[in-house]
Structure 1
């Protein structure tokens, strides 16, 4: 109670107020003794709510009406509802109040509380068990906060009449308590979007009143246990985005009232159980992104109430069963990314309510069905199949065509022929039209201009001719115009200026002629422009320098002439982007322009020759003396990190002696060969687990004591090389932070999660060794050394070519994107943690180790693992900013610039601190591209790749996390850069 008293006094304005609060707090302590002798509304509800208020922060003043002088909270206290007869609080609803702090003990006084809802706040700490035990509580909603910790296994042992509990979107971990089965009246349980691990406790299936169960977006694994038929009242079950394996329990078919089933994004396998055909009331079935195989069962047509059926990204094969078309209520059908074959039958027209059909990336054949334009579809996605025929014939054969509903039409990557229908303009709601990579002929229809909602137009890689119609300016919502690799001629219409939202304009590999219209300079949002390999002529409009968001502008292989515009993007444009234009002049093409006189030199009459010849200009001298703001920030951050390093070093020194003695003792007990023993949990011998196969070490623990086998040392420990008995080398990391490691159970759970991560660009974790004083992580051995040595210590055969560097950047991006996809943040990204394989492929290592050390806050963490300042995102210095995957994006951006320039992210000079991203940004703005790229490349690099890659690195190192792209977007941009460059080489 002392903490409550101090906090209450800090909010009290005078002595009288303090006396009242002291009285209330004293009553709270002594309440169990004489509560019956006091007025309940005064000494229970008022007291409990005031003490609850003391424990939280209310920055918006939402609880200003809560006054300790009131006799009852039932009159005008916001968020409080009472029983009018008993005058006791029955509901406390404070959703979305921006409250923070912890849930204190004050609420235990609300003995008649039936509903407690504190969702969408910033509450932290653990969930008090006393709340669950309130005798009348029926509804508990603590969702969308920052509550953390694991739930005690007996938390729900006394849950009384609890009917609904939601703990979704917090940071809770551990296992789901088995005591949940004590909540016999529970109808809703939502534990989604946390970090719960382990298997589903089979005891949950005994909750006969349960109607809704949501365990999605956690780390749950193992098989779904049998016995689910016990939930005979279940309506909704969501187990998506976990790590479940095995098959769907056959007895799920006995839950006949089920309406929603979502098992998507797991590793479930096998065939679908036949008893699922009994689920006739089910309206939503999502099994996306699993490992199911075989044919789509014919009984699927018996689920007559299905509105959404998603079996995408599995291994289904064979034909789509005809029974699917009997699903009269069906609105969404998604069978994409499978191996389905055969044609789409016309009987599909019976699905009158169908809105979305997604059959992308299958092996479907036959003609384009006519029913597509009959049933009022909103989205039709049939790309990357083997469909033939033409849109024109399908439309003309349709007796009743629904034009108003279609929003997305993607038929790309098929074998369609014929013309784009002239009636395409009738589809007034169309937002995406993609007919690329087909054999479409004819011209771009003029009716395109009637599509006011159209955002993406992709007709590339066809045989279109004619010209781009001027009516295209009527499609004012366009963001992407992609018409490359056709036979389109004529001029670029000036009406394109009305499409002000365009970010991508690709017209390459056509027969366009005439000048580039000045109107194109009004497209201020352009990011990627490709007009290469055409017959464009004339001068470049000077207004093109106004572009601010450009990543790429390719004008190569035309007949353009005159001087390149000066300023803006054109100061850094790559020579290859303007090559193949013999009459162009300017620095980018290394050709001087005729009749250009040098500007006269104007001397300052107030200066003397001595002063001019013997000193630098004032602003330059000033710049050398005074450090830049970014430099000062870097020095300050470095000082904070040094302090953190000192603190953690002192901590390590204290435990190192005992750790070393314990480790040596453990090794000695096993004869120096811990690794040859079978897995055990005995304290003296430790526990060794290999994720694939039995442990088979020949050197074992001896390597850990042999300095000759040491590969290197990092913030978490030393790494050694040892050999399996079959001759296969492995790398072993010996953790030197044992005192900070989680318990064995938590340690093993986290390590096993990391052990499941497999990707060509990630170092695989093969196993681990555990004792209370010694923890080892066993990794695959990567023979090529780390990226840092290749960049900064490499010579001779170790030198990295530009192609090597680009592949390393792309590989790192793919590895990080996969980590983020499985909800793992690296935290420790730097060049010494990127290893190079025998074939030059990059492998990102040391990921996920921060999850093993919960006692490290972000400041100690930054000093422990972010040893190089330049990789650390600025939000590490601010406690109020959430650490997300965008921290990895920042570190990746710094790595990109390091790989391209060959320079460290931060370099310390005698009188300055040089931050690489600032230096590159300044050089690019001033057109000094050659100074940015590693001088060892000697000009042997493609500028059309290097410049966009450096710009991408700068975007990734943005100070604002939301301005950084996610890693999958980074991968897409890099592949686009490489694809564009390869296209130029292939065409030249």
Structure 2
């Protein structure tokens, strides 16, 4: 009988042995407890969570990080959101000691929020909204988390009173409890302890009692303070006026009463902040606060004198009867006066409603429009209140402001709010509240900031003007064409509002300022590194190239490319703004500087969206921009894409040198250069056809005539930042791209697609 070698036997034993039961890390075992708690996983999100893996770091929805070089990777994030999973949240998730973010929103999870989550001491974000969780909120446990910043448990089935232990969540920045069944009074004394709170939403619950006055002691609050759809009663606390001016209140659908205080930020709220509180009165509501009516009974008389027999048959004291009769007459007179006043108010209200309805339906002739609106600025604010710093936001008269307010509150007559992006949701009342967020008033109307949704999605609302009542189809067509432009480096149009006397556009809000501010800084010092400047240049080039190439049927032209129209997000990624606004302003009957055009003849069929030339010649100051191409300053010139190429070249030179179009080094270096089609110009760079900005002449002279080193032309702040490591080859390549873009002959300038490709090769 043949014997089997011992090595073969050992190999067979190893191959047939079961896998080691301790292969998975402790973090992985805690996550498997969550998988066991899930009763339904329709999208098989957790199907590959297996105990045979060495660690969970490759599981779907799991994020790991190396806490230290001596330890294995630990779980720092769990995201199983929007997967429609059913089950409950197990307490074992609290054993993930380094878990920072737990994201389980938009599922069908039930049961209570486990207090054991407080054992995950690194947790700073807990998103459980839009589930079916029940029970109380374990504030005593969750507030033991030292780093908890975001707590969103909205749209669940939680109940009970708001616990006082919330005051211990001192690191909290977002607290969203809306859409639950919380009840009772909101306790005072919590909010002064939460000084870092930036968002608070208590809406759509069953809270009662009065609104705590110390809600006004939230200095960092922003967005919307939402306490709507509850059962709050009593007065509006005047202390809410201490909130920052950028905060919008939402007190709708409560039982508040009394006069609305006109203190601080309360005085800047729109009427929709207070709607559906029947006993509220005062500005901005159209409900007057009346005096308290006289008592229904008169005080008893002090003296008695004889009276008639009829009177003495009822009252033994005739003087008492005479006194009561006088009081009744006075009471009847007061009641009659009050009735007449009430009828008068109703008649005035009906008159204005009928008048507004007729004006909304009437087609107003253009000549009448011009006569009525001549001299009235196109950038009036909606409510005509004073903005931050006491600056007047409107030049309209008070009567016109009140009339516009009624039109908005009634839905705008024949107006329509059209969302171009299907995923975008905004109600008209949110536009009404936009006056509390005035960002600025410039040549293209007033710009407001509006926070929509749960307070995390801000948008910018720009008011264009009130003319062009008969050009509804034209405005709609241009706005829809703008809405089709979708690129990461172009500010996106989300919606527009049209009515015979109002035009608004809603775009993305980009909150890190513009390139003009970032390049020069608030104190005049450069704040951008070379890598940031190159990133901005590449992004702007891609955005403009997309505008030029996105629609083969129409040759889009921006026409107003300049640093103030290049917005920056938090990562300094650029977004080209104001595309198409000049065209919409022309339709609305406004010039780019906010004044009315005398006339607005219909455009030709070949007019360009976003073309810099409106229906009539814009004011001289609008054409004096140093970023415009020389040929763009010729009256009657047809907009061309090479205009944008020249403007981009000037911006690129400004990124490299930090010199504006009219800046120059010295008289000796500011002389005009002689090129193929150059003409002598003054130092402003705004002379005849062929004029170029000073920075273009100065750089071109340095390269072609003086042969100066690049280090003498580049921004000195960059040289101070990293003189030894600054990439000279990248700088030279960027200078050559800018000079090619600023050729005087438009035919010699490259296309923006070529410019973008050239910049992408740098670095």
**TM-score band, normalised by shorter chain:** 0.3 to 0.5
TM-score, normalising length from structure 2?
Answer: 0.38
Higher relative contact order (CA 8 A, sep 6+): 2
